[in-house]
Structure 1
């Protein structure tokens, strides 16, 4: 007989049992379920809703069940449907009729919301820790390459010279925003729903604040229907995972390109690469490609949650059981991807000579040539037109801007002088880009120091 089966005359059909049970995936919330039940039982005893001795017996029994689970002595039962009913059934088996008092003043609706919020808070702590590790590595690599000049791209075409350190710091800022998103999401997840019952609270004189404090929640929910019918925190969590995966995917895309023979900017370590079953010369960037591919998987988890919730009337609906697999998958995927990305990136070798070689061609200094004329008193639009004509001339004659003689330069604008050659050297182009947030080595090193301070603040808060 089901724990909820009092009004039923028939047993549940086996196919229904199999279809609707969730223990096959929500078992992973057993710690949160037991911890929440211990806090709930303690409060029931303290308030005199159940006897203090009964509360102590329940708490002792739950602690023993947790130890048994950790020791691998427990096999969850499909017929008990979910982790909540499994734990309660185990408790009744262990301590007898007293165990039936545990569910006083609560519903599985507020119980699952509690467990899930506790679970995702822990997941966010783990993800934030991994992002910090990645950000620390990015700062280290950026500092090592703060002066290495490389081509910057727009539209996948060479645009202007930057430094590799500046390029890597762009990803540092992306991942810092990811950390901030998870911190924000954590705050909105840190709301204790227990005491909301199925949807309308309860007639028992519960002390919700006591339970919230015991479980480490920052606040309690303000509306019982919203508390059990809300999954915004899940959607927000998976959204944060999706944005983080998008950043990882962009990074991986560039690493795949840089690893190609056509670019040659980097060499993947043998330990983080794979080979071909037929082509003996191949060393493939499979880790980066797989992270890029798994991004779509996490996007799918987000779309699943948005679709599940888009038309649900208040309050709880069984549809919401589908929330856990999506969130579990997103969390697992993100953690696995960051955990493998860090050693992959840490063992990459940058081919500095190849990067310097790629500075040739593409007219990376064209904007600086236009700026030169502006400083000589030429209107920017006139300067832009003159340099455009020079680039066209160079393409036809297979030359770079710096290859043109002063006489050739003056045919496009008489303001050119001999100092133009120093002005449009790659080193000068980068050094002059000294505005706050710019790619000059000085500004990159400043950004790195600021990044270190930012990480120290985040770590100290935690």
Structure 2
């Protein structure tokens, strides 16, 4: 009858069974395979560490702990994990392991899950997987940084044409350019390191949301799993995905920034510019045009960096407008989807580490462009301010008129003393104090560079001082990374020792 309500007792009987076949095939089975590939070893470590902590705190007796340790070890040795396929008998990998424990121990097999949840376990596994990938990326960045520094030192005095807005601007050196790239890379490395430090805090002990009524030792869990400490707020441990968004944001930046350098390499190596020579080992040929030298690795670095940045965005954007709570939007599928960003980023870093040191500057083309484009004219204006007492705007007018005249005459700037003298008299109404030798010195590219010896300039002394700073930063990043790796190695050994002691009690 219209308007009547149906009570719970009158609702249709649910005769379905879990899992629905489509849900099984589209969600549960892929997640199960993902755990096999990415997380099973981390879950083993969590199980071992949690068991050790439960025994040490007295939550479990040593006798029960020994029995569970023996069962865990038996599962690890005698269950062929790679042969396992998802059947739906157990909801996920966690429940499969628990079922294997209960097969061996009966009800005691369920005791391992005392004072924890899949919530804190999941985020701990994800952090363990992420920090390994992130630190590998950081190591590759540091290797690239060292390679850039060595190349910059060897090219300290190698002249190049520096471009702005796609046009020849001023002379600099390849070492100066590479130092600029290195500075940005080191800043990106510090940002990635900061993101890793945030990942390096354990969620274990947060349980579902609010920790536990049992006397757990969260700090001991963090220590056994190689974390730097605990993430304090339990709600934030399972709801805060900032460790994900922060890390992928930090990984995206070097891909964006290095992609700009790669684009310069494409421009510099173009036939019309010809400033950068790419060696034969990094050049592919055309299948039909025998004259072509195609520096294809540049294109691969460009698109790999773009794909890596795009994957980072995909992960971060998945978190947008999600609730501040435990949710699958930040878990297995998304975690695995992000790992490709590290794969692509690693390839970019490795290829660029090989590419840039192998390249060289075409000095003849640099000299030709320097002459044709009057790129030393800024120093002529500066010299007129210093030597003739002109205002910079007056000097700029003289320099501009000089450049116009020599370009129209298709002559190098160094041979334009007559054009300069005429421009000076036309603009200033008198003769300049510069003779032809002083004029040539003012517009010489090498002189241009050597005069720019302030902090950050391309002059040798300025670059040498910068090189020392960069080496110090590279060393600090390397040492800090090695310290974290060593800490985790010691933690792993400590966990093995504690777990083996439980196993001995079981014999």
TM-score of the superposed pair, with normalisation by structure 1: 0.90
Whole-angstrom distance in 2 between the partners of 1:372 and 1:209: 66
| 1:327-370 deviation per Cα after TM superposition (whole angstroms, max 9, x unaligned) | 31111211122122222333334433333333222221121111
Moved more, 422-431 or 318-327: 318-327
Distance 1:153 1:63, change over 3 A: farther
Distance 1:391 1:209, change over 3 A: same
Moved more, 339-348 or 101-110: 339-348
Whole-angstrom distance in 2 between the partners of 1:459 and 1:221: 25
**Which residue among 8, 13, 19 is the counterpart of 1:12?**
19
Distance 1:85 1:393, change over 3 A: farther
Please state how far the C-alpha of 1:263 moved relative to its aligned partner. Answer: 2.4
Q: Which residue of 2 aligns with 1:440?
A: 459
Please state how far the C-alpha of 1:97 moved relative to its aligned partner. Answer: 4.8
| 1:218-261 deviation per Cα after TM superposition (whole angstroms, max 9, x unaligned) | 22122222110111111111111111111221222122222222
Alignment partner of 1:460 is 2:470: no
Please state how far the C-alpha of 1:194 moved relative to its aligned partner. Answer: 1.1
Alignment check: 8 A CA contact 2:102 2:110 kept: yes
Whole-angstrom distance in 2 between the partners of 1:388 and 1:361: 14
Whole-angstrom distance in 1 between the partners of 2:350 and 2:95: 34
Alignment check: 8 A CA contact 2:249 2:316 kept: no
Alignment partner of 1:408 is 2:408: no
Whole-angstrom distance in 2 between the partners of 1:368 and 1:81: 74
Map of 1:369-388 to 2, 5 A cutoff?
369-375=380-386, 376-388=388-400
**Which residue among 368, 378, 392 is the counterpart of 2:404?**
392
Alignment partner of 1:362 is 2:373: yes
Q: Which residue of 1 aligns with 2:183?
A: 173
Larger Rg: 2
Distance 1:86 1:248, change over 3 A: farther
Alignment partner of 1:51 is 2:65: no
Structure 1 unaligned residues grouped into runs of 5+: 1-6
Alignment partner of 1:272 is 2:278: no
Please state how far the C-alpha of 1:86 moved relative to its aligned partner. Answer: 4.8
Q: Which residue of 1 aligns with 2:110?
A: 100
Relative contact order: is structure 1 or structure 2 higher (C-alpha 8 Å, sep ≥ 6)? 2
Distance 1:96 1:437, change over 3 A: farther
Whole-angstrom distance in 1 between the partners of 2:100 and 2:367: 67
Alignment check: 8 A CA contact 1:410 1:416 kept: no
How many residue pairs get aligned? The number is 454
Whole-angstrom distance in 1 between the partners of 2:166 and 2:103: 65
Alignment check: 8 A CA contact 1:256 1:288 kept: yes
TM-score of the superposed pair, with normalisation by structure 2: 0.83
State the superposition RMSD in angstroms: 2.5
| 1:266-303 deviation per Cα after TM superposition (whole angstroms, max 9, x unaligned) | 33344434333443444422222122112332332233
Whole-angstrom distance in 2 between the partners of 1:283 and 1:103: 62
Alignment check: 8 A CA contact 1:31 1:66 kept: no
Please state how far the C-alpha of 1:20 moved relative to its aligned partner. Answer: 2.2
Whole-angstrom distance in 1 between the partners of 2:323 and 2:200: 24
Q: Which residue of 2 aligns with 1:225?
A: 235
**Which residue among 359, 365, 369 is the counterpart of 1:348?**
359
Distance 1:120 1:66, change over 3 A: farther
Please state how far the C-alpha of 1:127 moved relative to its aligned partner. Answer: 1.3
Q: Which residue of 2 aligns with 1:424?
A: 443
**Which residue among 46, 50, 69 is the counterpart of 1:40?**
50
Please state how far the C-alpha of 1:396 moved relative to its aligned partner. Answer: 2.9
Alignment check: 8 A CA contact 2:160 2:275 kept: no
Moved more, 326-335 or 81-90: 81-90
Distance 1:128 1:389, change over 3 A: same
Alignment partner of 1:336 is 2:353: no
Q: Which residue of 2 aligns with 1:4?
A: none
Whole-angstrom distance in 2 between the partners of 1:331 and 1:272: 24
Q: Which residue of 2 aligns with 1:23?
A: 32
Alignment check: 8 A CA contact 1:234 1:323 kept: no
Alignment check: 8 A CA contact 1:29 1:83 kept: no
Please state how far the C-alpha of 1:141 moved relative to its aligned partner. Answer: 0.9
Distance 1:199 1:45, change over 3 A: same
Structure 2 unaligned residues grouped into runs of 5+: 1-13, 483-507
Alignment partner of 1:306 is 2:320: no
Distance 1:31 1:160, change over 3 A: same
Q: Which residue of 2 aligns with 1:141?
A: 151
| 1:133-161 deviation per Cα after TM superposition (whole angstroms, max 9, x unaligned) | 11111111111111111111111111111
